[in-house]
Structure 1
């Protein structure tokens, strides 16, 4: 099965006066990879600016641009056409001994270390001791399902700076928090895990031509022989309704739009995401 999706993502900043100069990075372009092919992508800015593209350390396509003239608002619109496919091959699995080996730990060192947003304390890590299984892949799946069952998805309940430990204390959060908590617990168990940012078409039974309003979405990938994607917010493996844009250690590595500027205080313009199934 394959789907073809058109995605229009609009975000930006509005200033309490005038910004005189700004430098910005947008991570809003879906990647091409096995199971996902980006057929078209375009990022435009208002005010208009010359853009440059490069891939960052984590393989994300970044659109950078700067504005050297006065402006009161910055709006960025990313339009993409993406084909997604369902993976039909079962992921490779390894034993705990392999996962704990020096070669694996060296290769995935950066994805085994806690960050400010994914750090969990020893007491929280111990909460999932009973989920340990004979194979790491089963432990990872049980952990993600446990996060889904114990932390409620409540839009607006947390902010972008909320960490995994705080979301756990609240027992609620948004997709970012469930992803951070899952990543933190997996790393605490020695399973390499990374944060994934992208989009989710919410209706699994959508007809061709259906358009929905959505938002940026977050899920996780863990390595137990090869990378496997799972969405703890919806308790489903990442599939043809998920569109990968960026991967990293946590949200700070994949922020859709960030930058520096000189001028009046800024406020986020908000986010609008529109997704249409074309095939």
Structure 2
């Protein structure tokens, strides 16, 4: 069963001295596709700026803007109305032999190779291949999730957006993006294309209609075995009606909610808030 949700995402920065100019990109508009439909979407900035939208190489919608007047704070707020996709059925998987063939390898090469936050590591490569030897491709994704949760403790504040899968694995703790990064290393090592998904998660499976609650910026993975299938390794559930897809890529480096450069003093975060309301 699909849901309809309203999402409000706000993020901001404060600067030690006035910023004279800045150039920014925001990836906070949910995607349409794969059963998910974005019905409305707006982005507002304070100070106000002229906004430009484009789709990046990975198919994510980017809101770009620049500011050229002195300002000591920047707040970016995205509001969207989304009909989410119901939990998908797992595809009928091909054999590992077919999955590792040239056709798949050529088509999805970018989702099979290491990336900035999903580098190779001999022990992780061996673990991924060992799991693949014991499971067919569909069950392999679930086994990867189990393996990751046995080795990572969910603990906010112990890693940041620059932490790689290997670093989180060695620490034994992290947040959703670390769970997703570590899962992707194992999937790719086994020969399964895997991509990183960023978006939002409604925290309540039995959410009341019309009630606004604090949501979460979230990350999960999609594996390709005959078709793309989303799985949330942090929560051990398939990606479904509570998940709102915003961006996809090889790892976090392809999908940051905010990215920019500016001329001025040092910055500090005003924090990120995500509010979600189930409407249907």
CA offset digits 1:231-276 (Å, max 9, x no partner) = 0000000000000000001101100011111111112221000001
Moved more, 78-87 or 89-98: 89-98
| CA deviation profile, 1:48-103 (whole Å, cap 9, x unmatched) | 00001110000000000010111111100000000113145442311112111111
Q: Does 1:248 align with 2:249?
A: yes
Structure 1 stretches of 4+ with a deviation exceeding 6 A read none
Which residue in the other structure is 2:71 paired with? 71
User: How far is the alpha carbon of 1:13 from its aligned partner?
Assistant: 1.6
CA contact (8 A) 2:202 2:216 kept: no
- Asked if the contact 1:99/1:191 (under 8 Å) is kept, the reply is yes
Counterparts of residues 33-48 of structure 1 (less than 5 Å) = 33-48=33-48
| Residues 26, 258 of structure 2: 8 Å contact kept | yes
| TM-score of the aligned structures, taking structure 1 as reference length | 0.96
**CA deviation digits over 1:203-235, x for unaligned, max 9?**
001110121112210000010110000000000
Aligned to 2:238: 237
Residues 1:114 and 1:259: Cα distance change in structure 2 (over 3 Å)? same
Conserved? CA contact 1:35–1:87, under 8 Å: no
Unaligned 5+ runs, structure 1: none
Corresponding residue number in structure 1 for 2:26: 26
Matched, 1:152 2:153: yes
1:12 maps to 12
1:273/1:164 CA distance change after superposition, 3 Å? same
TM-superposed deviation, 1:134: 4.8
Does the CA contact (< 8 Å) of 2:203 and 2:216 recur in 1?
no
Q: Is the Cα contact below 8 Å between 1:140 and 1:186 reproduced in 2?
A: yes
Q: How do 1:1-279 residues align onto structure 2 when only pairs under 5 Å count?
A: 1-87=1-87, 89-132=89-132, 133-279=134-280
**Deviation at 1:186?**
0.7
Secondary structure at the counterpart of residue 119 of structure 1: coil
> Is the CA contact 1:198–1:216 (under 8 Å) kept in the aligned structure 2?
yes
Query: Shift of residue 26 of structure 1?
Result: 0.3
Segments of 5+ residues of structure 2 without an aligned counterpart are none
